[in-house]
Amino acid sequence: MTQPYSEQPPAASGNDLPSAQPAAPVAGQAPWNPPAAPPVQSFDPPQPAMSAPPQSYPPVAPAQYQQFQGQYPQMSQQPPMPNPAYGYPQPKSKIAAGLLGIFLGGLGIHRFYLGYTTIGVIQLVLTVLLGIFTFGLVGLWGFVEGIMILAGANYFQRDAKGIPLRD
């Protein structure tokens, strides 16, 4: 059986390797040369003509300046206080801190309340780890601090953030 003539070359199989040399030109034809690349043209948009700046500006009447006076609100001397509902630190109660120191001073709750967490942890660890004997000593320590808070000692007039205690 014969195959019909086709102008397309046969499909290459996976084993066919391209030849390393270009095909020889057919007799009577010039060898194929790729066309030269087109010349590169730069595009510069047209520049507007520059005009000289005006030598003088038109006069402005003082009435135009006066129309803006009094339209803008005046700023107050102090900015408004932040809204306490949004996390602004509030002053702690002196009475609450003193009563916590008197009744739960052995556990260091008053120190936690005022923000002194390191000393509060020390008091709590001494009470829990060393037991009943130290609870009396640490409790006495907390009791004295509670009295000092209520009496308004200089050391206990502010919390750990520096905010004065409220009555």
Each of the 167 residues of the chain gets a pLDDT tens digit; together they read 555 655 555 555 555 555 555 556 566 666 667 677 777 666 666 666 666 665 666 666 666 555 555 555 555 566 666 666 666 678 999 999 999 999 998 899 999 999 999 999 999 998 888 877 777 788 899 999 999 999 999 989 999 989 999 98
On the 0-12 / 13-18 / 19+ scale of CB atoms within 10 A, 23 is exposed
pTM: 0.48
For residue 167, the model assigns a pLDDT of 85
At residue 54, the pLDDT reads 58
| Residue ranges per structural domain of the chain | 94-156
* Phi and psi, residue 166, nearest 5°: -95, 155
Nearest CA among 123, 110, 122, 125 for reference residue 155? 110
Are residues 105 and 143 in contact, defined by beta-carbon separation less than 8 angstroms? yes
**Cα–Cα distance, 72 to 98 (Å, whole number):** 50
